[in-house]
Amino acid sequence: INNHTPHMIPCNQKISQQQRKYPSWIIYWAKLVTSQKLYHISPLCVTVIYIPLMLFGLLGNILTILVVWLRPHMRTSTYLYLSSMAVSDLLILLLLPLDLYKLWRPRPWPLGDLACKLTMFLSECCTFCTILHITFLSLERYLAVCWPITAKTLVTRRRTRTIIGCLWLGAAVSAAPVLVMVGVEEVGGEDGHMMIECRCTHFAISSGLLSAMMILSNLYFLVPLCILGLVYSLIGRTLWLRPKSSRRDQSHRNTVKMLGVIVLAFVLCWLPFHVGRTIFSLSLGSQNDTPKNYFNLVSSVLFYLSAAVNPLLYNLMSARYRHASLFFECELTSCDIWG
């Protein structure tokens, strides 16, 4: 903040005659952003967002799991993937209260070293698992649209369940280094006393394990992103060249539209999350953490939004899911579906 950046106003200086030409609200926000007040307000704002987001996401994902597994006609390969992804999103949302606790009180960590490792591992495992589910579901749709005869042989419920199990196993193996990477360590508190905190260990930073895990995490995002772009380009080209009168193709179009919206929401919500984690790993030891903290708060909200919003997208984009969930809800409440 100096003469070379005239659009930013120093907090500790009086407003000059030149600065008076700016509206008062711009001056106020410039002062607020360059101070520490906004960071103290942030936990309250994030809490107000997190709580309804968690409740909405838990109800939506539980409904998705029940609708798919209690309705035999919903147990198609597509919805088996979506129900498994709902389990992953559900676990992510169940870990949200711990993140909220650490936001308000990062230290001391009250649950011990094992809980620290397991919660971080589970979060990373579910993150990888969601990405793998979206990728393999899109590949399955590619087979169904572009190679329908081959898909009838390869895509079966039993094989889909086996693939889903392998995806969970692969995600768990990929996230296993987190068990070594994080732990409870003593750090200096504001009053000079040592306090324990659940954090990335000094060993992970000095050994390069953190950097390796960040590379793996980014590859887990970028490689599937390239695959998804290619797959949906091929699907779109195939559907564009086919006549639109086919009932089967119309069903494929509806499914692809729903998956396309899910993929778009996934990219928009997870891109800031991965960028934020990369910034964190590259800026360890930096003096000014305030911009990084703001960015991490926003990216964390988007991350949990991604876990909560999928059931809403299913309702908006899939008439089949909408009708199945409506009948299920009416069975629970004994309502008249035609009333």
**CATH number assigned to the domain comprising residue 185:** 1.20.1070.10
Statement: residue 44 has pLDDT above 90: no
Cβ contact 131:227 at 8 Å: no
Residues 54 and 149 in one domain: yes
Per-residue b/e over 177-215, b at no fewer than 16 CB within 10 Å? bbeebbbbbeeeeeeeeeebbbbbbeebeeeebbeebbe
Write the pLDDT tens digit of every residue in 235-285. 888 877 776 655 566 676 777 888 888 888 888 888 887 777 677 666 655
Residues 107 and 198 in one domain: yes
Residues 137 and 157 in one domain: yes
Residues 22 and 107 in one domain: no
Mean pLDDT of 208-218: 85
The reported pLDDT for the residue numbered 55 is 94
Find the DSSP H helices in 71-195.
77-94, 96-104, 112-146, 148-154, 157-175, 178-181
Residues 27 and 42 in one domain: no
Residues 202 and 235 in one domain: yes
| Residue 5 within any structural domain of the chain | yes
Does the bond joining 72 to the residue before it have cis omega, within 30 degrees of 0? no
The reported pLDDT for the residue numbered 206 is 82
Write the pLDDT tens digit of every residue in 3-27. 333 333 334 444 444 444 444 434 4
Write the pLDDT tens digit of every residue in 125-155. 999 999 999 999 999 988 888 888 888 888 8
Write the pLDDT tens digit of every residue in 297-320. 777 888 899 899 988 888 877 778
Q: Which two tokens stand for residue 333?
A: 């409440």
Cβ contact 172:266 at 8 Å: no
Structural domain boundaries, residue 84: 36-333
| Residue 338 within any structural domain of the chain | no
Q: How many whole angstroms from its chain centre is CA 232?
A: 21
In the chain, the amino acid numbered 218 is: N
Q: At what angle do helices 37-70 and 96-104 cross, to 10 degrees?
A: 170
The reported pLDDT for the residue numbered 190 is 60
Q: Considering the chain, what is the average pLDDT of its residues?
A: 77
The reported pTM is: 0.78
The reported pLDDT for the residue numbered 171 is 96
Residues 24 and 105 in one domain: no
Structurally, how many domains does the chain consist of? 2
CA dihedral (68, 70, 309, 333) in degrees, to 10, reads 150
The dihedral of CA 207, 211, 213, 216: what is its sign? negative
The reported pLDDT for the residue numbered 29 is 36
In the chain, the amino acid numbered 332 is: L
Statement: residue 87 has pLDDT above 50: yes
Find the DSSP H helices in the chain.
24-33, 37-70, 77-94, 96-104, 112-146, 148-154, 157-175, 178-181, 202-207, 209-241, 247-282, 290-317, 319-333
How far apart (Å, rounded) are the C-alpha atoms in residues 274 and 299?
8
